[in-house]
Amino acid sequence: MRSRNTAPQQPIGLVPGSIAALALCGLTMSGLLPGIIWKLVSILLCGMVWWQASLNVMAKMDRRQRFIFQALCYIGLFLMPLIGPGELPRMEYIALKFTGVFLWALIIAIIYNIIYKNKPKMRKKIVAGNWKMNTLPAEGVELAKGVVAGRGEVCSCVNFIVCPPFTHLAMVAEALKGSDIELGAQNCAAEAKGAYTGEVAAQMIAALGCKYVILGHSERRQYYGETSETLNKKMAQAYANGLTPIYCVGENLDEREAGKHFDVVKAQIEEVVYNLTEEQFKNLVIAYEPVWAIGTGKTATADQAQEIHAYIRKVLADKFGAAAAECPILYGGSCKPSNAAEIFAKEDVDGGLIGGAALKAEDFLAIGKGFQK
Ligand code: 13P
C-alpha cells in the first residue's frame, strides 16, 4: 500500500483525458448521449482530468497566479448553476450543472498548461562534474584545462562546475582562472574547525575558491553513515562560509521497486532542506541521483526523471512557495553525452551531476551541449 507521503496519482493522461472529457461532455450536454449514466461518467472523467491538470499547473504557479486560477474555478462554480435550462428532472439537472462546472475548470487548466509549457525556464542550467576519488593532482589539472579549452563550444548559458578531490582544489582553481567554470568540493566537515582529524572545513574549501559543495551524496550516506542530522550541520557550515550546497537525494533499488521512491526523497528533503531559511533556500541546488543508476550504466528514463523532479519541486513549493520554481534540480546517474539531451529536455530537469563522464573533458562538455531549451 502507498503511504500518505506518496506523489499525487496521475489518474489519466492529460492530453487523451482532456480530449475524451471534452468530447464526452459535448455529447452528453447536447443530448446525443442521453441518460444519467453517461452524465455521471462525463462528470467523473472531467473531474479526474481537471484534478490532474490543476496539480500540474498549480505546481508551476506563484501565489498570485494560484489565486487567479482558483478564483476563476470558483467563479465557474457559482455561475454555472445560474446558466442553462432549469426545468430538467432533478438528477439530470444536477449532472448537467456539475459537468458544466468541471468543463469550465478544465478549460482554464488546459489554457494555463499551454501557457506554462511554452514559457521558457528562467532557472540556471548546470552541468556539474563530481570527480569522486579519481585522478592524481596533475591529471586533475589536465582535465580542468581540457574543460576550459573546449568551454567556448558550449552555450554560455550553461554553468559548468567541477568538483575535484580536496587535494586538487588549489591547483584546479588555478587552472580554471580566467574561465567561467566554477569550483566545488565533494564534501565538508560538520564542524567549523578544531580537533577533527582528517576533516576539511567549509571555511577551508571556500578559501581555496570553491563556490559549491556537494552534500548528502548517496556514497557518503551509504559508506560513511551520513544522516540528516550530520547533513543539517554541514549545510549550516556551507552557508556560513558562502558556499552553495548541491544537496543530493535519491532512492536505492529496493526502495524504487517497492514504490517508495517518492517517500524517500520527500523525507530527505523534509529532514534537511525544510530547515533552511528562505534566504538560504534561494542559494541551493538539488541533485536527484537514484542510487541504482549511479555508475551502473542504468539511467533513469527521461520520463522517470521528470516525474520525480516535478515531485521534488512540489515538495519544495509546499514549504518555500514560488521560490521552488527557481531552484535548479539536477539529474545524476549514468548521465552521458548520448542521453543528456533527452533528459535535459524535460521541464523540471535543470542539468546534471555527472560522475564517470566528467572524467573526460570532451564528454563532460558534450553533456553541456545537451541543453536545447
Ligand atoms: P555516474 O555518472 O558515474 O553514474 O555518477 C553519478 C554521480 O554519482 C554523480 O554524483
pLDDT per residue as tens digits for the range 317-372: 999 998 999 999 999 999 999 999 999 999 999 999 999 999 999 999 999 999 86
Q: Measured from the CA of 293, which atom of ligand 1 is nearest?
A: 4
Using alpha carbons, select from 337, 368, 323 the residue that is nearest to residue 350. 368
Q: Which position among 217, 219, 226, 251 bears the catalytic label?
A: 217
Q: Measured from the CA of 295, which atom of ligand 1 is nearest?
A: 4
Res 63: pLDDT: 60
Q: Which position among 219, 226, 251, 289 bears the catalytic label?
A: 289
C-alpha cell at 221: 550516506
Q: pTM value?
A: 0.72
Q: Report whether 201 contacts 237 (CB < 8 A).
A: yes
Q: What is the distance in A from the centroid of ligand 1 to the CA of 262? A: 20
Ligand 1 contact via 245 beta carbon (within 6 Å): no
Q: What is the distance in A from the centroid of ligand 1 to the CA of 364? A: 12
Q: Per CATH, which fold does 125-368 belong to?
A: TIM Barrel (3.20.20)
For ligand 1, atom 2, which residue shows the shortest CA distance? Answer: 355
Q: What is the distance in A from the centroid of ligand 1 to the CA of 174? A: 25
Classify residue 236 as left (phi > 0), alpha (psi -120 to 50) or beta: alpha
For residues 1-39, b (16+ Cβ closer than 10 Å) or e, as one string?
eeeeeebeeeebebeebbebbbebbeebbeeebeeeebb
> Which stretch of 41-55, 212-226, 356-370 has the lowest confidence by average pLDDT?
41-55
C-alpha cell at 359: 572524467
Q: What value does the mean pLDDT take over residues 65-83?
A: 70
pLDDT digits (tens, 9 = 90+) for 268-307: 999 999 999 999 999 999 999 999 998 888 888 999 999 9
Decide: helix, strand or coil at residue 284.
coil
Ligand 1 contact via 206 beta carbon (within 6 Å): no
With vertex at residue 263, the alpha carbon angle to CA 305 and CA 278, rounded to the nearest 5 degrees, is 80
For ligand 1, atom 1, which residue shows the shortest CA distance? Answer: 355
Q: What is the tally of helices (H) and strands (E) in the chain?
A: 15, 8
For ligand 1, atom 9, which residue shows the shortest CA distance? Answer: 355
Q: What is the distance in A from the centroid of ligand 1 to the CA of 332? A: 6
